Structure 1
Amino acid sequence: MKKTIVIVFGAALLAAGCGGGDGETAVAEAPGAAAPGASAPQTPDGTAESVPRALRFEGETLDGKPFDGASLAGKPVVFWFWAPWCPKCMGEGPDVAKAAAKYGDRVSFVGVGGLEKNKGRLAEFVSRTGTGGLTQLDDRTGELYAHFEVTSQSSFVFMAPDGTSSDASGPLGEPELSRHVDELLG
């Protein structure tokens, strides 16, 4: 037993460079922790462990740019699932835009336009509702609706940085949205 401990300790010293010569002191890392300057530990699919599972998706914005859900990690997110033919969605769009402006950089607001095959109708909806300042994702395939287990529009998913979430069905006006976002912020 003592021999095993000495061998393991010796191997650790060798791996750390034996504290030799460069003036830096080796610091023991917690198991699984990334060394300073190294990337975060990875899951088997290559995604950083700090990214909640719900944010491990890829999509495309309405203007055709690739979007990685992992880019939302680290702060609260409000996902708004809408369809261009939905009168509830059309009515609440301006309130969603106001709430996004109110919370600024503290909360990410992401629109998910789906349940429509015509991309032009999605873009027209964004223009008519004044929600062009939000990140708007093109979900004509319904993959994001399925990923978040959303079954109807208008729906919201309020996600904390740790990945816990709550949901609500719309229409939600500005006061209701603010209440949910305030709860999300704690």
Structure 2
Amino acid sequence: MRARTLVPAVLAAALFAATGCGSDGGTGSGDAAKVAPSTTASADQDSDTSSQGGSGTQVPEALRFTGTTVDGKPFDAKTLAGKPVVLWFWAPWCPKCRAQAAETADVAADYQGKANVLGVAGLDKNAAMTDFVSQTGTGSFPHLSDEEGEVWKRFGVTEQSRYVILDRDGKTVYEGVLPAGEGLAEKVAGLTG
């Protein structure tokens, strides 16, 4: 049990050190300038594939990253372009994340086609992430397995149970904690209405 709490603490400290300490405390005043260039996307992609999504939508810098889902499928964030995006950063052992699961899944279902929801799992191994998705019933939207914390670093996230909400242009309009996901639906409704 001790190792289970030590590993996440060490990874969280490493993420904190790598991204610096500075948080807006969830005030929603985060800005897209915090987003670093992709470290997982190919640097020599031509501009047609890196700047446009599947429907010809311009891809903002914030969505120029790739990864692998918890079920082992490749994922390219450019597929999210053109709609508001909720990035939900969670860890499998986190009780606050578990409490947010139902509301996050409801928002994903209620706003399907109008907004995108992407879970970004970290601070553990993929097997635990897969179990979390299964146990919480959140498999209706994609979840990245971010064991190395690349996407977490990209968005400056240093702790689990965090939401980063982007508008349709890729600008961060909210970054913070929403206990039990309360208020998430209202934030997404404001971007889709």
Compute the TM-score of the two structures, normalised by the length of structure 1: 0.71
Q: For residues 124 and 108 of structure 1, do their structure 2 counterparts lie closer, same or farther at Cα, with a shift above 3 Å needed?
A: same
Question: What is the rounded CA distance, in whole Å, between the counterparts of 1:78 and 1:63 in structure 2?
Answer: 20
Q: Which has the higher contact order (CA 8 A, sep 6+)?
A: 2
Match of 1:42 in 2: 47
TM-score, reference length from structure 2: 0.69
Of the candidates 118, 123, 138, which is equivalent to residue 131 of structure 1? 138
Alignment check: 8 A CA contact 1:155 1:167 kept: no
CA shift for structure 1 position 42: 2.4
Measure the CA separation in 2 of the matches of 1:160 and 1:181: 9
**1:158 matched residue in structure 2:** 165
Q: Does 1:148 align with 2:151?
A: no
Post-superposition offset of 1:148: 1.1
Where structure 2 has 5 or more consecutive residues not aligned to the other structure, the ranges are 1-45, 53-57
Give the alignment partner of residue 122 of structure 2, picking from 109, 114, 120. 114
Q: For residues 179 and 116 of structure 2, what CA distance do their matches in structure 1 show?
A: 17
Q: Secondary structure at the match of 2:89?
A: strand
Corresponding residue for residue 8 of structure 1: none
Q: 1:170 aligns with which of 163, 177, 187?
A: 177
CA distance, structure 2, for counterparts of residue 177 and residue 71 of structure 1: 22
Match of 1:80 in 2: 88
Residues in 2 aligned to 1:135 and 1:120: alpha-carbon distance in whole angstroms = 16
The corresponding residue for 2:69 is 61
Corresponding residue of 1:92: 100
Distance in 2 between residues matched to 1:146 and 1:175, nearest whole Å: 25
Once the 2 structures are TM-superposed, how far is the Cα of residue 119 of structure 1 from its aligned partner?
1.2
1:61–1:136 Cα contact (<8 Å) kept: yes
Q: State which drifts further: 159-168 or 93-102.
A: 159-168
Q: CA deviation at 1:171?
A: 3.8
- Describe the SS at the equivalent of 1:150: coil
Letter in 1 for 2:126: K
Shift >3 Å, 4+ stretches: 171-175
Asked whether the 8 Å contact 2:82–2:168 carries over to 1, the reply is yes
Say which SS state the counterpart of residue 140 (structure 2) adopts: coil
Structure 1: how far apart are the matches of 2:63 and 2:74? Answer: 14
Equivalent position of 2:191 in the other structure: 184
- Give the aligned CA root-mean-square deviation in angstroms: 1.8
